[in-house]
Amino acid sequence: MAVVPAKEEDIKMLARLMRAEAEGDGTLGMLVAGNVMVNRARAACMDFKDIRTIPQMVYQSPGGFEAVQKSYFYQRARSKEIKLARRLIQGERFNPAEHSLWFFRPSGDCPAQWFNQPNVGRYKAHCFFAPAYGNCPEVY
């Protein structure tokens, strides 16, 4: 069962965003980045109170993803990333991003916090940050 509503075009949009944000980190890198994306559409807290769909999450402003401002986000979705996006829409989660609402690629070490949220881990180039348990129950 889908954890967020998603039409076929939404799944392709999620796939494009995953690729644009984390292709360099491989399959698992795209999956953990995608966990953050899906979590934002699930969350009813913090900066994501009014985000309920994949398109709202992708184009959220302010607070959205840098990749939507780059030409490579607008490439056609490939079957590999579409399959990964479907897995996430169905609720699969991957460490360290199971409950994360933020990630970014620092030039060095991961900071202990980002937007006042604790660091929950790193996967390759990206650091992940999740709200404390209880602050956003929809992502737990």
Select from 8, 2, 28 the least CA-distant residue to 125: 28
Q: In the prediction, which pLDDT does 115 show?
A: 85
- Helix H segments across 5-130? 8-22, 26-42, 54-58, 79-89
Asked whether the whole model's pTM tops 0.95, one would answer yes
Q: How far apart are CA 18 and CA 16, in angstroms?
A: 6
Q: In the prediction, which pLDDT does 58 show?
A: 97
Low-confidence ranges of the chain (pLDDT < 70): none
